[in-house]
Structure formats: structure tokens, C-alpha cells
Structure 1
Amino acid sequence: MMCCCNSNPIAGGGLLGMRQGTRTVSDYSIDFRTRALQSQWNAAAQTDAYLLGLNDYIKDELVSHDLPSSLDKLIELATRLDRCIQARRQEKRHRIPERLPVPRPRPPVDVNHFPAPHDGGPEPMQVGRTRLSPEEREHRRQRNLCLYCGKPSHYIIRCPVKGARSSVERGVLMSLFSTPSPIKRPHFQARLLLKRGTHTLTTLIDSGSDICLLDENLAQQLEIKSVPLPASVPDNALDGRLLGTITHRTVPVHLVLAGRHHETVQFHILKTPQHPVILGFPWLHRHNPHIDWSMGSFISWSPYCHQICLKQAIPALLRSDTSGPPSDLQGLPEEYHDLQEVFSKTRATSLPPHRSYDCSIDLLPGTSPPRIYSLSGPEREVMEKYVNESLAAGLIRPSSSPAGAGFFFVEKKDKTLRPCIDYRGLNNITVKNRYPLPLISSAFELLQDAVIFTKLDLRNAYHLVRIREADEWKTALTVLLDTTSIWLCHSVSPTLPQFSRPWLMMFSVTC
């Protein structure tokens, strides 16, 4: 049993007051784990607080199970039960209601008229009869006659007489009711990264399609180049009908799914206006994703994707696609036009590749990066916007790093909030990169004959230096949404010895 007599809200991180509410168990668990990192409670107390916050329907299901001893296993069990319950509820919503058979009225019997007994001679085709007698059925089977019209050369499944008769002729319509509409196929959000910009759309995943398709009109609208196929590909329906002929396919196109799954696809071009992008069976076979079809979301990706597609989320790959239109150079002296990339907003959102002088973060022995602190409501909204924009730009990524720098805000002059990451704790335990600096007097001597001085403010300057790949986990920032590893450099010192002198000389004009 959990005892909270000596606990306080700060030490508990607000765990005792947390409730699942209208959220799924998965969302509730993520929020609980995040706040649990801030608390000083032990594992048993956290487990009791987690159970207390669950909705009653989950608690009722947990009664019939042996409760796990650890919080992680309890969260796993509760999440699995919640998914089963949600899937069962959705199944009930789409179930077709059962209807009892309606008794058919029998025609009045004419007692004065009885059919003549069968004399064993040729039997009429009995087109008007609803059922054949056993003798007539056997008679037609032996002679390979149609069981419906009694004629040779075809069977009942292809009987022309049966197909020509209307449903009104075949029976009496007693009642009419509409069945629920079929379950809608889930569509997944996707982005096409093109030279002219990013295009957002929905894609259909169809295991019955042998190829990946792109709508012809959309390809023309986005000016996606195409190349002819060596041989045309027929597009057939399930019954063999020819729906069209495919003669072209696109050049490799950059496709992004689920925010950070990057790949290059060549689509076959066909008119499919209802589904502009269709990913077929070859795509499923290659990536083998785990999909929650009831919720229409990706749960996990295959090992292949973790090695290839998810690593490609690094924005270095996007540089060729984020060039964007030329910067507006009006008002900029002609002498600086060759530096137009410096003023590009789109290129400023990408990171450079890893290089020999990437910034390293070597920690002092026996130390570890610090943890986090909480945010207010307005700060949380700004934080969510910052995280979403940075994720879309590829500057940060989700992470399970045990480190986590604090995330807070400083108010600007215009009352808006500036996001800040508190790396002071990390700096205190980092081995300093010391090297000799030039004397200030020596630096001024280089400028003594200059008459024109220019200062350029680089866009996202701290993004222009990469953190060493093995040290990226140390730069993680932790927010209430998740733990996110941010690829920002908190020190530009590794590049200064190599670049400071050439740039200084370039921008000092002497006469």
C-alpha cells in the first residue's frame, strides 16, 4: 500500500492527481512516465499512483489478471487491454444488425385443381417453379442440363434466362432496409519533398496492388518528371477487366510517412483521382510496417527501416529538396550576392553533414547529464509548437536518452516567449576544449587600416555545427510530450580556429 502522508506535490511530481480521463491508456502512460521522472517516489508508490489514475473499465479488466510487479509490465498490460477494448467497441459500431426472417405469405390453394401426376415422360423445364423435385433434379444432372432453365450447353451459374429475369420476377419484395456503409479504409498522411516545395497528401496502402501508383493529374500538377516504361503494364481488375494501361513512371520521388520515415519511390502513373497515392504490396513487403488498421496509424517499423529509412530523417538528405526559390537580394549590395545561400530561409533549416571537426562532448568521470523541470500552460503550448516545427524541419528527433536538459522560456520585448534549453548542467560536467586564443590587441591590429566593416547574422547559426554522432544523446532535451534529442551545438569553438581568420580578412575592406 502506498503511503503519502509525508509526500508533497513537488516531490510527487503531481502523480497522485493524474487521471486517464478521455485519453487512451497509451497517452496517459506517456504523460505519467514523464512526470514520474520528476518525482522522488519509489517504484511501488509510482505503481499505486498509476493504478489510481486509470479509468474504471480498465481497472475492471485488471481484476481478472495477476498484477505485474513492475510499473513497466503493468503499463504494457493496461495498454494491451485498452487496445483490445477499443477494437471491440469499434467492431460493435460497424456490426450489421441481425434481422429475423420475414415469413412469406403463401398463395391460396385451389382445392378444385391438382397437378396431373408425372407419367415418367419428358419433363417440362419448370421455369416457373421455385424448386425442382428430386426426380427432375437428378434427370437434369444425368443429361448435363441447366438446373434452372433445363437447356443444354451451359450450367446454372451462366444461365442466360436466370440472368435476364429481374428480381421482381424471381420473388416478392417483402421489406427493404439499408445496411451500414462499409468500413472506410484508413488513409495515412504523407509528404512529397520536391524541388518546388513540399506537398502534403493522403496515401492509401493496398496489399492487393502489385505496384505503387501516383495519380496522373497530380503528377502533372506538381510537375513531377516521368520516364517511359520498357513495356506497357496492363491494369486489370479482379474479374480480369482491363481498367487501363500504364506506360510511364515517375523519376525517384522523396516520400515522407509518419513524420520521419524517409524513402525514395518511383510511382507508376495512372488516373486514380480518388486515391492520389497508392502504396502496394511491394512497398509492404519491403518495409513490413506494423499498422493499427482500426486507428489508421503506424505502430512500428521493420529493422530494415530503422537502418535505412529512419536514419534518412537526418536533414542532410533534405538539402537538395529544400533549396527553395532564390532569396530576395533587393537592398543587398552586389558585392554580397555570391553569398545568397547565407540568407536562404529554407536552407537554414537543414543541418550540415558530420565532419572531422564535429563538436564533441566528453563528460567528466562519474557524472551524468541533468534532468528537467515543469512548464506552465502557455509555455507548454509554445513548447508544443516549437517541438512540432523542429520535428518537421528535422532539427530534432524522438529519443530514449537517459539524459535530458531543461526546457524553459524567456519573455521577449514583444511579450512573446523565446524557447531556451538549459545546458548549464551539461557544461559543468563537460571536459573543456581549451586552446590558445589570439590577443585582442593582435586582432585589432589586423583591422587598423579598414574603413568598412560588415557584420552578417547567420540564420540558425548554432545549427551549422554538428554534434559528434556518438555524443548526440547527451544533448537530449526533455519535455512533457516526450524525450527529444536535439541536434544543436551549444559551442561553436571547434570551427573557430579553422575559419575565423579567413572570414575576418574577407569582410574587412582596406584602402
Structure 2
Amino acid sequence: MASGAVDLFIADPSLEGLLKLTKVDLLAVAANYGITTTKQSLKPVIVATISQHLLAHGVVASQEEEEDKDEEGLERVEVPPGSSPIRPEGGVGVESRVPLTLPKFQPSPEESGRSVETARLRLRVARLEADLRDKAERRQQEYELELRKLDIKRLEVETSKEIRKMEIQAETEVKIQIRQLELAAGVSSSPPVGREGPFDVGRNIAIVPPFRESEVDSHFSAFERVAGALHWPKEVWPLLLQCKLTGKAQEVVASLSLEESGQYDLVKAAVLRAYELVPEAYKQRFRNHRKSSNKMFVEFARDKESLFDRWCAASKASTYATLRELTLLEDFKSHLPDDIVVHLNEQKVTTVAHAAVMADEYALTHKTVFYPSTPTRGPRPSNSQAVRTSRAPAAQPSTRGPSKAERECFYCRLPGHLIADCPTLKAKPKAPLSPSRSKGVGFVSPKKPSVVYSPFLSKGWVSLCDEASQQPITILRDTGAAQSIIVSTSLPWSEKSYCGSHVLLTGIEMGTISVSLHWVYPSSSIVSGRVRVGVVPRLPVDGVSFLLGNDIAGGRVVPVPEVVDNPDPAYTGTETDSLFQDVPSRTTVLEHDIDVEDSKPIRMHPYRVNARKREEMRKETEYLRKNNMAVPSRSPWSSPCILVPKPDGTSRLCTDYRRVNAITVPDSYPMPRTDDCVDTIGSAVYVSKLDMLKGYWQVPLTPRASDISAFVTPDSFLQYSDPSPLRGSLIADSLFRGFS
């Protein structure tokens, strides 16, 4: 909605009125005249835009036009001919000369002030317009400059392309001309090996492939291809190769003699032998290579082909006959003992016939002459220990064990005969023969789990669904099992209970079996609800039908105690309340007295303590007064109090009776010795601790002892009614007498 100022401006538009409007009014004026502007623009920019539009369409006049109009508005007054001259008001006067124009307009002071302000605003608008024009011109100049730079770069790129193209064309033409001249002269492009100049090692060493210890065999293949293609002399091959070797290969070459290091074949064989890249190593790599999870089958097949080719190349199996011998020899070695295989590898046999002869010779040479009488666990004896050949002497005595004369009878344990010839067994009377009777049928008791599983056994129920009848089961909680399993005879399994998946289980024997998963509903003190378990024919623990693993039970090993809202305690007796209460009682067996003879009373002032200890002392004295352990005192005796920290972090209120003890007649009743107490309970199986609730407070004091026990704190002056800080071995001994 337009305001009143906007309506007044539209009725009488002027630059002065435009400058007096607010930003909101300026936007309304711009909308009225159809001028495009935005709210984000500054007010001077909006004023300049509206001013340019209004001036361009003649809605308002500029300052110069207004001044011209003012000058043109001044009327020119002329005296008509024949008229009388103007006379003064007095009547008759002298003829005066009338000016041709009206006098110049002199504005009032108020109008003059507004004109100055208007001029300032117009000057500001003009400056803003000039700034806008300058910025627009600068942006235009920068844009044109960027365009020129892009054109220059494009020309440079095109020029460089043309120059490179011309260079390549010129080089090609030169090469073609040289080749034509060589062909015309009948000269080969490669100079003969015998007539070329000295070989430049430093120039060609950069072409040698880099050496990597993980790809030693491929490095030699690449080096030989490069050397053959460039026609390098064979005598410089070892030198070029040694310049690129690193690690173990460099150490091996350094260990060779000067003559050996100059022969390429010896250097190559030594390096390959150092990295165990012999035919046997290639064979083991080929046989033991497995597909990894991050490789595709195409890559795995390519690796297998590469390893097989390297094995064949190392074994020099380039024809069908040699490949046949290699395959037969490997299969023949796979059926031999390890020691014979090692012997054949050391002899470097290459044919099956030679390997068979060498194996027979080794077996005859290392034939076993003694066999143990007791079987041993472990790998079976090698074939070399069980060789039986027809070439062995027929009359050779058997050495498989002791002779019959040395063997011991299993019945009487006497040497010299066997149990079949035992005279003691033959002399034993035989039972009379009785007619055969049919044997009765008995019931087999069910197998029970071992007692070692008792802490982890529990009873439960299981079913295939909630509505089905539940079957009783014995559950074993196995904290080392990752999968829960159940015996297949526990429930009638079907396709409805099948989960559609299997799981692989690995036992302690490191074997793996596939087990189908089914949904069941167990109900036990540890877990209940619908769970997924594996079904197996039997479990290794007799009497257990359900093995509960961590996948279902999680961290629960034993049943969780059940908490009820209304507890039902089994015993709520109150017969021992008087024995186990928090307030100490008072004994009537004896009273405690303090004998100071005729000594004068000792009076001391309280010790100075901080605010925290003072508050603790106040609480302790309040407790003593509340439980009648201390009463307000008027005694002439007075001893100060201190706070002694206890092991549990609290403090104990103690009275400093050192001055009183110095004049007190001591009690000669003996205190128990600590070492005697330790010796008494040293051999005991059970040790019981009997403690009294504030036992010293339960012994009353005589009136004289109560006055002497008076103590003072910063806030109170009391005296004990019970001998808490005094001696009490007599009452303690009388209470616990009879306990051993």
C-alpha cells in the first residue's frame, strides 16, 4: 500500500521530493512507474535509477531546465507609446525612467536553505551515477582484457601445435631420406656387431629394467628381451645387470669371484638360487597357489598359467616327452616317503626310471632292522621302513621283537612261555558246563551329563511354534559356542520350520560341517522366544539335547534373579533386635573408677581447630549427649579433645588424657598379647570375629571417675558417663571368656 508521501510525489514529481522519500517509498514509486529494481539495492542506487528513468521520460526536469524556465518566466514590461510616465504617489512629479525588466528574484532565507540541500543531494546523485558508470566501464575493460588474453593463449597453443607438427614432419622426412639412401647403398640400419665401436654402458644403463626382489624371474626375462632387441654384447650383460641389483641379489653377486661375476649364466643361476627359484620352488608355488578373495578367477587362472610356464621353463620341459617325464616324476614322488623324495631332489633326477632305481637303492641302504612292539601315535612309518623285497636273504632271522623264550606270559607274568601254554591257566579248575539259557530283556538307563557341567545345565521346553505342544529338553550353556544347536530327535522338523539357509560349524578337531537352520520356540530361565538354531544328529555331551551358545544367550550364563513387587521373606523374626541394634546399652556387672589419690584437679583449655573440625566435634558431642554417653559438666577437671582420622575416612573424637594418666594409679589387669592371639588362630580353619557396638560406652563410670573424665571442646563442656576412652580389658575379657 502506497503511503501519503508517495501519493504526493506522484501528484507533483520532482527530484527534490524523490530525495526525501524512504527506501520503501522509493520501491513503491519504482513499481508505479514500471522501473525495474530490487530490494537488495542500496538507496542511492535506487534513487539514481528512478531519476534516470524520470528524466529520460520527461516526468521531471533537470536543475538547468528549471532555472531556464525561471528566467523565461520573468515578463518584459515596456511602456506603450503615448502613455504618461509613471508618477509618484504624491501626485505631480518629475518624469521617471521605468526599467525595461522586472527586478531579479531574491528568494527568502528558508527557500535558500532548501536550495542548498537540494543541490547537495543532486550532487550526491550525480556522483553515484558517475561511480556506476566508472564501474561498468572498468568491468567492460576487464572483460575485454580477459578475452584478449584467451585469444593470445589460443594463438600460442595453435602456433606451438603447428611448430611441433612441422618438426615431426621434418624429422620424418629426414628419416625417410636417410632410409632411402641406406637402401640405395645396400647398408643395414643396425651396424654389424663385430664392426661397431666400443659399447657405452653409461648410455644404455638407463634402459635396463628396474630390479624388484618380488619378481626376480620376470626381471631376468625382461632384461634378456631388451638386451636381445638392442643387440647388446653378451659380455656386458653381467655388468649392466649388476648395476640394477639390490638387496640379497647384490650380496650374492658380491660373493662371486671376479671370473664368475663376468659370466651372465653363472650370475643368473646364483641369484635365482638365492631366491629359491629352482624347479622345485616353482613347482611348490604352482601347487600351493590359491585364489584370494580380492582376485577374480581370470586373474587366478593367469597366475596359474604363469607359474606353470615358469616351472616348465626351469625344468626345461619344452617338448611332449620332457613334459610327460616331468608329470610322471611328480606323481611318482607324491607316493614316496619324505626322506626318499629329499634324496631324489638332491640327486636331481629327471626321469621316472632313474628315480625308481635311486629310490630302491636308498630303501635298501636305509632299511629298518628294528620295529617297536608298541604302536605309536603319529604319521605312519615311511615306506623305507616297511620295504619288503625278494632280494633279502631267505634265512635271515626275524628281529621284530624278543624271542619266544624271552617273552612274558600275560596270565602268570612269568617268562619262558605264552598264555596258550601257561601251566597255571591249564591247572585252573574249569566250571561245569550248564545248559544255555535265554537272556532276559532289560531296560537301559538314559545317559546323564557329567557332573562337571552341573553349573551350566538347566531344564527347559522347546516347540516348533507357540501353539504346539512343548517337549522337555536339557540345556547346556556353552560360553565358547558362537552358534546354538539342537539334537534332531528333539522335534519333528519340517519345511515350515526351515530358515532356508545353512551355517558352517568348526569343532575342536578343526573339521567343518554344514548344518541347516530352523526356527524354534525355547522356554527356559535364560532365554525364551523365537530363535534360530542349527540341527545336528547328536551332541558330544551325553544327556544334553540343546547347546545354548552366545548368539542367543549373549552375556547371560546363569538365570537372572527375578525381582517381585511384593517380597515374601521366609523369616521375619524379631527375637534378636535387642542384640543387633544401633544404640549401645548399659551393663550392670561393674563400674569403672579412676584413682588419682589426692592429686589436684587438672584444668586445660580446648585446642584451636579449623571450622570443619569444629563442626565435626559439635556433631560428635551432640551424639554423645543424645545417647546419654556424656552429660553437661561442672567438674573442676578439664581435658581437651582432638579428632583422629579412621581408615574409612571418618574421624573419631578422642580426649587428651595424658596429664590425667600421669597422676592415675594404673590398673594391673593384663592386656592380651598380639603374637599369642596370632598363634592361637594360626592353625584354625575358620576364624570368627565378635565385635561389640561401642563396647566401651556400655560400662558406667563412678561419680568420681565421671568428674575426672570431663572434657572441653570449643563449643561445649561435658563429662563422660561411660568409660569410652578409658581401659576396658576386664569387661571385654569377661564377655568373651569361653570362646576359643
Q: Say yes or no: TM over 0.5.
A: no
TM-score w.r.t. length of structure 1? 0.29
Structure showing the higher strand proportion among its residues = 1
TM-score w.r.t. length of structure 2? 0.20
Structure showing the higher helix proportion among its residues = 2
